[in-house]
Structure formats: C-alpha cells, structure tokens
Structure 1
Amino acid sequence: MIEILNPTELTRARVTGTLVADILYGLKDRVTVGTNLLDIDRWAQKMIIDAGAESCYVDYAPSFGRGPFGHYICTAVNDAVLHGLPHDYRLADGDLLTLDLAVLKDGVAADSAISFIVGDSKPAESVALITATERALVAGIAAAGPGARIGDISAAIGAVLTEAGYPVNTEFGGHGIGSTMHQDPHVPNMGRAGRGYTLRPGLLLALEPWVMADTDKLVTDADGWTLKSATGCRTAHSEHTIAITDDGAEILTLPTVRR
C-alpha cells in the first residue's frame, strides 16, 4: 500500500515527526556510561504515553522477527544495527549506540534513528561510520522531490556509502510510512537513478542509510530480533521521515530545539 497524505494529515505528520525527534534526543541526553538499555526502553515508554501517542513496536510482529517485539524502542549496540531488542546491558565508554523509534499519534506515524558514541571515548571507526550514514541521509533527502524516482534516492545514498568504503546491504532499507509504520515503496540503500516509483506530493518516506564496517551480511541474534553484522564489526544507522512537497522534500523528524 502507498498512501498519499492530504494537507490535514500532513499537519498531523509534522507533529508526530517532531515528537519522535524530541524523544530520541531527550533519550540521548539522558544516556551515560552505565545506563541500562532497559531503562532507555522505560524512559521511551513514559515519554510516548505522556504525549498521548502509541508505540509502533510493542505489538509489531513481522515474519522476520520472533514477535511481538514487546518494547518501545530499538536499542542497537556496536555490532547490532537493526531491530535491537532492549535487554539487560549497561553501556560502556566508547559503545556505539543506535536508537530507532517509530510512534503513531493522531493516526499518522513517523520513524527516525540516531547513532552516537557513549561516554568520552570516540573510536575513529565509529565516528566514520556515523558520519557516513548521516552524509548518505542528507544526499538521499536532497535527491527526493516531486517527479523524482525511488532509484534516485537509492543511488544517492549508495554513492555516499560506497565512496566511504562500506559494503551495502539492500535487504533492509527505507520505506513508505503513513497511517502505519511500514508501507510501500521499499527504498533500498543502493539503486539505479531513474528507476522505480515516481514520487508525488503528500508521500511520506522513512529514509534510513545503515552500514556495517566490513560486511554486508547480517545474522540474527539469539533473541530472535536483533540483526547484527556477520563479522562482529561495528555498525551505524541514521534515519529521517520526510514528506514529498510541491517543491522538494520536508524533513519531519527534526527536534524542537535543533541539534
């Protein structure tokens, strides 16, 4: 299903997007060395409920997971990159943490992810991974607009990631979003310009470049959910929900206070 939002729905999408971003950055501000992933999940739960919103993850049970997910946020550490199931782990100095959050409010969902390093240590490899995904996200958004095609976005994202020296997995990528978290079209992180669905004003997309340092192969953790790099290398993931407008693309998942 591909949804095209009307102006009223787009106004609600902006509210949801800002909420997602404010929760993510509010959580980031609270995370320190020694923070337990389960505490992050509890904080996210309270922030979502207090805002009168719903988690898109608690009852999420797709074919590839051991569902339902049962938590309010994805917390992926170091070699984990997608669908990180919160568990009893205290973060250490230098850990690379990805927080991925999708929320539904007033009938419209938004989805975003940030990766950052915990504590004072800043391993160069981790910094490079995060920077590459952030740059790829900027490039993908710049390629989006009315009349552009999904392949234009995918090609822009893939060019940044491959030029940075990273293999690219195309099994999981960006997606349409609207009244539900995951919709068509699929937006792979590598593709050919000029191909695929033509973008229209009112379309919402969640773009999410993610990489692993030395492999494009994923393995599933014993928890049945968390996807990790097959080699144990570090990973990073950046994501925004955008709306296609009459003259370009609008980022919906920006925090109230710009970071």
Structure 2
Amino acid sequence: MIRLKSKEEILKIEFSAKIVAEVLELIGRFITDGVSAYDLERIATEHILKRNAIPAFKGYNNYPYSLCVSVNNEIIHGFPTSEKVLKRGDLVSVDCGVLKDGYFGDAARTFVVDDFETEEGKKLVEVTEKSLDLGIEQAKPGNRIGDIGHAIQAFVESAGFSVIRDYVGHGVGKRLHEDPQIPNYGVKGTGIVIQPGMTLAIEPMISQGHFETAVLPDGWTVVTKDGTKAAHFEHTIVIEAEGSRILSRL
C-alpha cells in the first residue's frame, strides 16, 4: 500500500535524508588509497550518532553495519570491513540510511579512489549519475512508475551499459522500504500513477557488462556475475504538485 505523506512527515523524511547527505559528503573527503571500508563505517556511524539519529541499516534484517560499501564488481550491500582496503582507481559505492524521529532517509553515491583507471570507468560513473537525474525528471504527478524506469534504461543502454534487474528503488518513509517498487527499467505509460505526497528512493544500479547478479557467501554482497564493474547512485525525493524535489541533497 502506498502512503501519501503529510507536510509534517515530509519535513521529517527530509531531515533524515539531509543527515544521509552529510554522511556522503563527509565520506567523500576520506576516500583515498590505503583507507579501509571500516574507516568509512566508523566515520559515518560517529556522525549519525552525533546528529542524534540512528543508522538505519544496522540490524535491518540482521545486516551488521551502518554503511554498505561496494567496490568495483560489487553492486550493493558490500560489507565495510577492515580487510576491504581501497586502492587507486577503485569504484566505491557508499549507501547510507538514517532513521530520525520515526522517519527514514536513504541515498547512495559512487566515488572513485583518487582517479579513474580507465575512460570506461569514468563513463560508467557519469552515465549512472546522469541516469538518476533523468529518472527523477520523470517522477512527477500524472506520470507513471514505468516512465522513471524507461528513462533510466533508455539512456543507460544507449551508452552501452546494462541496468541491474534484480534490485530496484522503493518508497521510503516510516519504513526503509515501502511501496511502490521502482525498477530502473520499464515501459513508458505503465505502472502506478505518480501522485503528490509520494516519497521515493530512486537508485539506478548499472553494470559495465551483463545485468546478471550473484550473492556472495556472506549472504548480502551482490556482485556482477560476469565480474565487470558497477556503479550506484540514489536520492530520496518527494513528489510535489509541480514536480519532484530531492531531499537527500545539501
């Protein structure tokens, strides 16, 4: 069931989403050669707690960390362990969620460690971020959920990359994952009608190669089945009468 949010609820979601944006901005300053993913986890957790908020991922379905840190062929849900040491040229997706005053915010960003190793890696990150922008442009009253996915898919595939099919965006609010599901692929003019008051987490996950995925033995980390690199960007947005507004941006 889709819940349309009141102005008061939207303000609370925005507050949580802004804390997520702060975390991602802060994390970006520390991503460099030799830093471990656990260093990022510690920094993020300290900041969230300092803001009197709760790390939304930690304990969610028994997930053990505050962040998801996914490197290169890891798409999502990567563990931020001390053994995962970043090196120059790595693509690092950092996904963060925050709970404050009963409402969630959720966002993700892909960083590069120091500089890109290849032009294709740079293109992958740029295309993924642009596809998020294009999806958000379609998130407006009267459009349908399929319009979001179609915009993302058409742009990504025209650039020679693949849209991950097994994992999708979602509604967000009093729960971290709410209805509706928001695939990053689809057919224009299909799906649920978008209405003011919806709060959505749109999150394209894009692969350099095929879209097939696998889950590592830890039960969480999702990787590309063919071993190619992936990128991931996400924003929490609200649908308003005139269009959409990004809540997880400083």
TM-score normalised by L of structure 2: 0.97
Cα deviation digits, residues 116-151 of structure 1 (max 9, x gap): 110234421211111111111011011111111101
Aligned to 2:50: 50
Task: Look up the equivalent residue of 1:7 and give its one-letter code.
Answer: K
Task: Look up the equivalent residue of 2:51 and give its one-letter code.
Answer: A
Aligned to 1:65: none
Give the one of 154, 159, 162 matched to 2:154.
159
Q: Find out whether 1:241 has 2:226 as its counterpart.
A: no
Structure 1 residue matching 2:29: 3-state secondary structure: helix
Structure 2 residue matching 1:115: 3-state secondary structure: strand
Alignment of 1:93-108 (within 5 A): 93-108=88-103
| Inter-partner Cα distance in structure 2 for 1:28 and 1:122 | 18
Aligned to 1:64: none
Count residues in correspondence: 249
Equivalent residues of 2:116, 2:122 under 8 A apart: no
Equivalent residues of 2:163, 2:204 under 8 A apart: no
| Inter-partner Cα distance in structure 2 for 1:251 and 1:223 | 33
TM-score normalised by L of structure 1: 0.93
| Inter-partner Cα distance in structure 2 for 1:154 and 1:183 | 17
| Inter-partner Cα distance in structure 1 for 2:116 and 2:148 | 34
Q: Once the 2 structures are TM-superposed, how far is the Cα of residue 170 of structure 1 from its aligned partner?
A: 2.0
Q: Find out whether 1:84 has 2:78 as its counterpart.
A: yes
Aligned to 2:14: 14
| Inter-partner Cα distance in structure 2 for 1:56 and 1:235 | 24
Please tell me the root mean square deviation across aligned C-alpha atoms, in Å: 1.1
| Inter-partner Cα distance in structure 1 for 2:162 and 2:13 | 33
Equivalent residues of 2:166, 2:213 under 8 A apart: no
Aligned to 2:216: 221
Structure 1 residue matching 2:149: 3-state secondary structure: helix
Equivalent residues of 2:140, 2:194 under 8 A apart: yes
Task: Look up the equivalent residue of 1:124 and give its one-letter code.
Answer: E
| Inter-partner Cα distance in structure 2 for 1:139 and 1:79 | 24
In structure 2, the gaps of 5 or more residues are none
Q: Find out whether 1:183 has 2:178 as its counterpart.
A: yes
Cα deviation digits, residues 63-89 of structure 1 (max 9, x gap): xxxxx1110000000110111111222
Aligned to 2:65: 71
Identity of aligned residues (%): 36
Equivalent residues of 1:69, 1:85 under 8 A apart: no
Structure 2 residue matching 1:30: 3-state secondary structure: coil
Do the aligned partners of residues 26 and 7 (structure 1) sit closer, same or farther apart at CA in structure 2, a change above 3 Å counting?
same
Cα deviation digits, residues 179-224 of structure 1 (max 9, x gap): 1111111111110111111111111010011111111111111221
In structure 1, the gaps of 5 or more residues are 62-67
Alignment of 1:109-148 (within 5 A): 109-148=104-143
